[in-house]
């Protein structure tokens, strides 16, 4: 089974383990369903579908597992072919097996809105297609802007038969998965990863906020969020705040200290170039608190900038 659906299966298994301490098992915890889950994990989609044939088709977990089995079958199924006489690009974006998997996942979401794994599976199934669609639409828009004469839109994108495949729909599914599973991190990690690939920085930011809530006393997520703010949102002050939070949990974390020093040194150099010498000096003072003493590149850069400012003051 594809790696992305294994995450959904793992989320489902974790939820089942949490529920095990609660009330008596429902129908979805029967031996048939457990066996089907095991068969899917082993890659035996046909065996799983056969075992689930007689299970209740109103049970959210049964529907979810049937969707996983069809998604597994889709991995080895041939690509869709266009209708006779249609251009190759006009083929349906989803394989027939993916269409069936999606239908089961959506029914599972309706039957069990709290089943995070089902929402996650919808998102994971549609995510690569949504990214491809968006890239093709951007390319089409660029072609038009240059005055080129594009072919028919449906033929160019190959998405005329899948209007529901969109970045927004995938993001909605990830949000619902995170809402249904308020403790798990894999769901949020998948949400962040997709949002960044899709260029939806506000969504990625929201995902990072959720990740921090779920892993409060670990320095690593704060460093990652700081990297995101610095590199993708151009928010240096926000990045420093996150790196500083990481240092609260791990005061000797050299990685976080170096990243803060880099930002302050960069700011000091920019102020120096603009002849804002007092502010440059202040930023060097900030950087000095985080630069590792010795002969490293940061220490050398600090001394260089300090010497330049000293030369200015000596005039």
CATH number of the domain bearing residue 184 = 1.25.40.10
Does residue 305 sit in the same domain as residue 161?
A: no
How many angstroms separate the Cα of 85 from the Cα of each of 81, 90, 151? 11, 10, 16
Number of domains in the chain: 2
Give dist(CA 70, CA 63) in Å, integer: 11
Q: What is the pLDDT along the chain (315 residues), one digit of tens a residue?
A: 555 565 566 556 555 555 544 444 444 457 888 999 999 999 999 999 999 998 999 999 999 999 999 999 999 998 877 666 555 554 568 999 999 999 999 999 999 999 999 999 999 999 999 999 888 888 888 878 887 665 555 444 454 445 579 999 999 999 999 999 999 999 999 999 999 999 999 999 999 999 999 998 999 999 999 999 999 999 999 999 999 999 999 999 999 999 999 999 999 999 999 999 999 999 999 999 999 988 899 999 999 999 999 998 775
Structural tokens at position 63 = 């529907």
Q: Which of 184, 215, 246 is the last residue of a domain?
A: 215
308 part of a folded domain: yes
135 and 256: one domain? no
Asked, for residue 239, whether it belongs to a domain, the answer is: yes
Distances (CA, A) of 38 to 19, 156, 211: 18, 41, 29
Whether residues 55 and 189 fall in one domain: yes
Range of the domain at 12: 3-215
pTM of the complete model: 0.83
Q: Tell me, yes or no, whether 239 and 143 share the same domain.
A: no
């Amino acid at each position: 089974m594809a790696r992305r659906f294994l995450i959904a299966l793992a989320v489902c298994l974790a939820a089942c383990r949490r529920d095990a301490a609660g009330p008596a098992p429902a129908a979805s915890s029967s031996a048939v369903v457990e066996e089907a889950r095991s068969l899917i994990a082993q890659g035996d989609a046909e065996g799983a579908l056969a075992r689930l044939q007689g299970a209740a088709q109103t049970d959210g977990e049964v529907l979810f597992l049937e969707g996983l089995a069809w998604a597994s079958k889709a991995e080895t199924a041939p690509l869709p072919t266009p209708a006779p006489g249609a251009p190759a690009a006009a083929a349906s974006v989803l394989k027939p097996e993916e269409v069936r998997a999606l239908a089961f996942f959506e029914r599972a979401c309706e039957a069990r809105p709290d089943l995070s794994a089902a929402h996650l599976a919808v998102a994971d199934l549609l995510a690569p297609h949504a990214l491809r669609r968006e890239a093709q639409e951007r390319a089409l828009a660029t072609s038009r802007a240059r005055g080129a004469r594009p072919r028919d839109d449906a033929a160019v994108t190959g998405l005329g038969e899948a209007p529901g495949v969109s970045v927004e729909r995938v993001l909605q599914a990830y949000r619902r998965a995170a809402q249904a599973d308020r403790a798990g991190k894999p769901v949020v990690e998948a949400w962040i990863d997709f949002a960044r690939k899709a260029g939806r920085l506000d969504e990625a930011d929201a995902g990072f906020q959720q990740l921090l809530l779920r892993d409060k006393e670990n320095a690593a997520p704060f460093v990652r969020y700081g990297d995101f703010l610095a590199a993708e949102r151009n928010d240096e002050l926000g990045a420093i705040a996150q790196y500083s939070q990481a240092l609260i949990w791990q005061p000797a974390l050299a990685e976080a200290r170096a990243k803060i020093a880099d930002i302050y040194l960069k700011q000091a150099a920019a102020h120096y170039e603009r002849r804002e010498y007092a502010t440059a000096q202040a930023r060097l003072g900030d950087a000095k608190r985080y630069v590792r003493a010795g002969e490293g590149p940061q220490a050398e850069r600090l001394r260089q900038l300090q010497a330049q400012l000293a030369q200015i003051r000596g005039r």
